[in-house]
């Protein structure tokens, strides 16, 4: 990993109370065959000793310690702005609950450098608990149907999605970005806090004329929900459900044209509200069930999400 001069790529790992997950993630970062990159860990107000562990065990990773949990968008933007100010050519976002194959960054870099109109590249992502089962093999989102699709979800990987490189929706779980595209399109929209901020980004990249691709030779393994469900919601899908619902409304308000609104609304009500209402009833997760309707209200009326995001700071201070 580069330690002198300006690196070509800045890898940003976001952490919130995930010390053991973060250790596994950074160990995989340390084994990367690509050399010209730096690692920045943004700690989102952890109280589990993560910052102390970083200082004691990972001196090669620069730490930006925030005093509160600022959410995915705002916390990542802190590090992205810093990287852009130092003229780093590429920025990569990586969840702390992931591990990478040793050649992952090298393969992502090869993919994005193949075409200067490519703004973003995602790797092939597997479930960590089922290493051959796909979590993401490209993604799509439609403003006509409000439908998000992660190609290959829970399928055994047999290369069935490898021949479709273009995507219309990237994932912030593991994402390499071109800095010049970020300067043109802008950073993550911080009103989203977390969830669907990558869909919003995808829409903005495509409308600005950029391409987004999937690099099937680059591999990542992901522990789905390890932070949002286990660390932040104590096993309930409450936080994830609230934010995903609210942010679907925000997507509509921000991007859906009037002629797309009728079909977007039908899709949202059927594939999101009705489906997840039934799912939360079946799984007896009353907190998540209530969060669906709190999310609709918050999205429509710009209501402060204090009920669900209790204890999460709307601002962001660096300690």
What pLDDT, on a 0 to 100 scale, did the predictor assign at position 236? 72
Residue 131 tokens, joined: 């290493």
Residue 279 tokens, joined: 């799912």
150 and 112 part of one domain = yes
What pLDDT, on a 0 to 100 scale, did the predictor assign at position 50? 95
Query: Would 32 be classed as within a structural domain?
Result: yes
77 and 43 part of one domain = yes
Please say which residue of 192, 210, 228 terminates a domain.
228
Please say if the pLDDT value at position 202 is more than 70. yes
Query: Would 313 be classed as within a structural domain?
Result: no
Please say if the pLDDT value at position 230 is more than 90. no
Report the pLDDT averaged over residues 176-198: 97
Residue pLDDT, tens place only, 282-313: 999 999 999 999 999 999 998 655 555 554 54
Query: CB within 8 A of 110, min separation 6: which ones?
Result: 215
189 and 142 part of one domain = yes
Query: Would 28 be classed as within a structural domain?
Result: yes
Query: Would 1 be classed as within a structural domain?
Result: no
Report the pLDDT averaged over residues 250-260: 97
Query: CB within 8 A of 179, min separation 6: which ones?
Result: 83, 84, 87, 88, 89, 90, 91
Least confident of 88-102, 219-233, 248-262, 284-298: 219-233
Residue 179's CATH number: 3.90.550.10
Split into its structural domains, the chain has a count of 2
Report the pLDDT averaged over residues 99-127: 98
28 and 170 part of one domain = yes
Report the pLDDT averaged over residues 198-225: 96
219 and 257 part of one domain = no
Query: Would 312 be classed as within a structural domain?
Result: no
Q: Taking Cα atoms as reference points, which of 222, 254, 262 lies closest to residue 101? A: 222
Instruction: Tell which wins on pLDDT, 237 or 227.
Output: 237
Query: CB within 8 A of 38, min separation 6: which ones?
Result: 1, 2, 3, 7, 9, 10, 11, 62, 88
Q: Where does the pLDDT of residue 319 fall: very low under 50, low under 70, confident under 90, or very high at 90 and above?
A: very low
Query: Would 319 be classed as within a structural domain?
Result: no
Please say which residue of 210, 228, 246 terminates a domain.
228
Q: Where does the pLDDT of residue 2 fall: very low under 50, low under 70, confident under 90, or very high at 90 and above?
A: very low
Please say which residue of 202, 228, 254 terminates a domain.
228
What pLDDT, on a 0 to 100 scale, did the predictor assign at position 139? 97
Q: Can you give the chain as a three-state secondary structure string?
A: CCCCCCCCEEEEEEECCCHHHHHHHHHHHHCCCCCCEEEEEEEECCCCCHHHHHHHHCCCEEEEEECCCCHHHHHHHHHHHHHHHCCCCEEEEEECCEEECCCHHHHHHHHHCCCCCEEEEEEEEEECCEEEEEEECCEEEECCCCEEEECCCCCECCCCCCCCCECCCCCCCEEEEEHHHHHHHCCCCHHHCCCCHHHHHHHHHHHCCCEEEEEEEEEEEECCCHHHHHHCCCCCCHHHHHHHHHHHHHHHHHHCCCCCHHHHHHHHHHHHHHHHHHHHHHCCCHHHHHHHHHHHHHHHHCCCCCCCCCCCCCCCCEC
Residue 271 tokens, joined: 């594939």
41 and 188 part of one domain = yes
What percentage of the chain carries pLDDT values higher than 90?
Answer: 88
Query: Would 249 be classed as within a structural domain?
Result: yes
Q: Give the number of other CB atoms < 10 A from CB of residue 174.
A: 26
242 and 186 part of one domain = no
Residue pLDDT, tens place only, 189-199: 999 999 999 99
Task: Give strand pairing partners of 37.
Answer: 9
What pLDDT, on a 0 to 100 scale, did the predictor assign at position 314? 46
193 and 76 part of one domain = yes
207 and 139 part of one domain = yes
Tracing tokens 């990972």 back to the chain, one arrives at 58
22 and 156 part of one domain = yes
217 and 250 part of one domain = no
Q: What is the pTM of this model?
A: 0.91
Least confident of 119-128, 136-145, 171-180, 236-245: 236-245
Structural domain boundaries, residue 138: 9-228
Query: Would 130 be classed as within a structural domain?
Result: yes
Q: Can you give 249-277 as a three-state secondary structure string?
A: HHHHHHHCCCCCHHHHHHHHHHHHHHHHH
Share the mean pLDDT of the chain: 92
Distance CA 110, CA 90 (A): 12
Residue pLDDT, tens place only, 21-51: 999 999 999 999 999 999 999 999 999 999 9
Tracing tokens 């990773």 back to the chain, one arrives at 61
127 and 268 part of one domain = no
């Amino acid at each position: 990993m580069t330690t002198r001069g300006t690196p070509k790529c800045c890898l940003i790992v976001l952490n919130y109370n995930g010390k053991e997950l973060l250790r596994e993630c950074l160990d995989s970062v340390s084994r990367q065959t690509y050399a010209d990159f730096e690692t920045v860990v943004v700690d989102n107000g952890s109280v589990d000793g993560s910052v102390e562990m970083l200082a004691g065990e990972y001196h090669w990773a620069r730490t930006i310690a925030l005093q509160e949990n600022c959410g995915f968008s705002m916390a990542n933007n802190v590090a992205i702005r810093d990287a852009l100010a130092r003229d780093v050519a590429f920025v990569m976002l990586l969840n702390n609950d992931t591990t990478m194959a040793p050649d992952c960054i090298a393969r992502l870099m090869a993919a994005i450098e193949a075409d200067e109109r490519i703004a973003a590249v995602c790797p092939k992502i597997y479930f960590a608990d089922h290493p051959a089962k796909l979590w993401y093999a490209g993604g799509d989102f439609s403003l006509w149907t409000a439908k998000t699709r992660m190609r290959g979800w829970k399928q055994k990987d047999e290369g069935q999605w490898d021949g479709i490189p273009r995507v219309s929706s990237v994932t912030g779980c593991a994402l390499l970005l071109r800095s010049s595209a970020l300067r043109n399109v802008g950073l993550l929209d911080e009103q989203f806090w977390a969830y669907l901020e990558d869909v919003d980004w995808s829409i903005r990249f495509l409308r600005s004329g950029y391409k987004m691709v999937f690099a099937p030779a680059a591999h990542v393994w992901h522990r789905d929900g390890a932070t949002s469900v286990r660390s932040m919601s104590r096993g309930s899908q409450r936080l994830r459900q609230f934010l995903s619902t609210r942010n679907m409304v925000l997507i509509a308000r921000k991007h859906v044209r009037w002629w797309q609104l009728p079909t977007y609304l039908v899709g949202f009500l059927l594939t999101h509200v009705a489906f997840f209402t039934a799912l939360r009833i079946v799984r007896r997760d009353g907190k998540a069930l209530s969060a669906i309707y709190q999310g609709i209200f918050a999205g429509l009326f710009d209501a402060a999400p204090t009920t669900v995001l209790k204890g999460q700071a709307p601002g962001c201070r660096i300690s």
